[in-house]
Chain A
Amino acid sequence: GAGVSQSPSNKVTEKGKDVELRCDPISGHTALYWYRQRLGQGLEFLIYFQGNSAPDKSGLPSDRFSAERTGESVSTLTIQRTQQEDSAVYLCASSLAGAPGEQYFGPGTRLTVT
């Protein structure tokens, strides 16, 4: 079946602009995660959605970052007033409820803030 998809693949924006990144999880996956990967670094957790529960926002680096998820489907990560340090690859992952951490990742969105 289809894997996790993300759009756009690449995004270049000017400092101060808002951006929206989209993630389509695997159908039936109730858990959805957003991670950030800066150049040469590992992945940093940003936010986690599980079904209809309140999201775990503990990884969001500032109030410029927010995310929404519609039911158990699409999620959007929004970065307001982008800064150069926001330049990174943003990866989305999804998993089944109860699955022991087997997260399936999308190809990511490379964000460049000029």
Chain B
Amino acid sequence: AQTVTQSQPEMSVQEAETVTLSCTYDTSESDYYLFWYKQPPSRQMILVIRQEAYKQQNATENRFSVNFQKAAKSFSLKISDSQLGDAAMYFCAYRSRGSQGNLIFGKGTKLSVKP
């Protein structure tokens, strides 16, 4: 079975600085998707960024980018120019490509942004 591990329960960053959130996963599959979701206090899960495992190029979305290391099964999220609105829980998630099945989530990292 696949597992997702986020080893940083909490992280803090100064406004305008850069922070990296870590995620590792375990799978025997070769083709899959990886995601980072943001969950603010409103509880609404918001998709931040998505990576397809067969693509070597790291995904980027404005200030958000990932460092995808397939061999190491690592998928970290980098947030540049951090803003107060980035403060939230961040969840790393995995999904098999072969079926439109459920997401497997890590336990999350709580990010605080200091003004």
Additional pairs, 11, CB under 8 Å, beyond known A43-B103, A103-B103: A35-B103, A41-B108, A45-B102, A95-B100, A100-B50, A101-B95, A101-B100, A105-B46, A106-B44, A107-B43, A110-B43
Given contacts A43-B103, A45-B103, A59-B102, A89 and B33 within 8 Å (CB-CB)? no
Q: Are A56 and B102 in contact (CB under 8 A)?
A: yes
Given contacts A42-B107, A105-B44, A105-B45, A98 and B101 within 8 Å (CB-CB)? no
Q: With both chains docked as a complex, state the minimum distance between the C-beta of A41 and any C-beta of chain B, in angstroms.
A: 6
Q: Say whether A50 faces chain B, with CB atoms less than 8 Å apart.
A: yes
Task: Select from chain B the residue with minimum beta-carbon distance to A96.
Answer: B100
Q: Say whether B42 faces chain A, with CB atoms less than 8 Å apart.
A: yes
Q: Say whether A91 faces chain B, with CB atoms less than 8 Å apart.
A: yes
A43–B20 alpha-carbon span in the complex (Å): 22
Interface residues of A in 67-112 (CB under 8 A from B): 89, 91, 93, 95, 97-108, 110
Chain B residues with Cβ below 8 Å from A41 are 107-108
Q: With both chains docked as a complex, state the minimum distance between the C-beta of B50 and any C-beta of chain A, in angstroms.
A: 7
Q: Say whether B91 faces chain A, with CB atoms less than 8 Å apart.
A: yes
Q: Are B43 and A102 in contact (CB under 8 A)?
A: no
Q: Say whether A65 faces chain B, with CB atoms less than 8 Å apart.
A: no
Q: How many residues of A contact B (CB 8 A)?
A: 30
Q: Say whether B47 faces chain A, with CB atoms less than 8 Å apart.
A: yes
Chain A residues with Cβ below 8 Å from B91 are 42-43
Q: Say whether B104 faces chain A, with CB atoms less than 8 Å apart.
A: yes
Q: Say whether B35 faces chain A, with CB atoms less than 8 Å apart.
A: yes
Q: Say whether B63 faces chain A, with CB atoms less than 8 Å apart.
A: no
Task: Select from chain A the residue with minimum beta-carbon distance to B4.
Answer: A42
Interface residues of A in 26-42 (CB under 8 A from B): 31, 33, 35, 40-42
Q: Say whether B25 faces chain A, with CB atoms less than 8 Å apart.
A: no
Interface residues of B in 1-56 (CB under 8 A from A): 4, 6, 33, 35, 37, 42-47, 50, 52
Chain B residues with Cβ below 8 Å from A95 are 100
Chain A residues with Cβ below 8 Å from B37 are 105
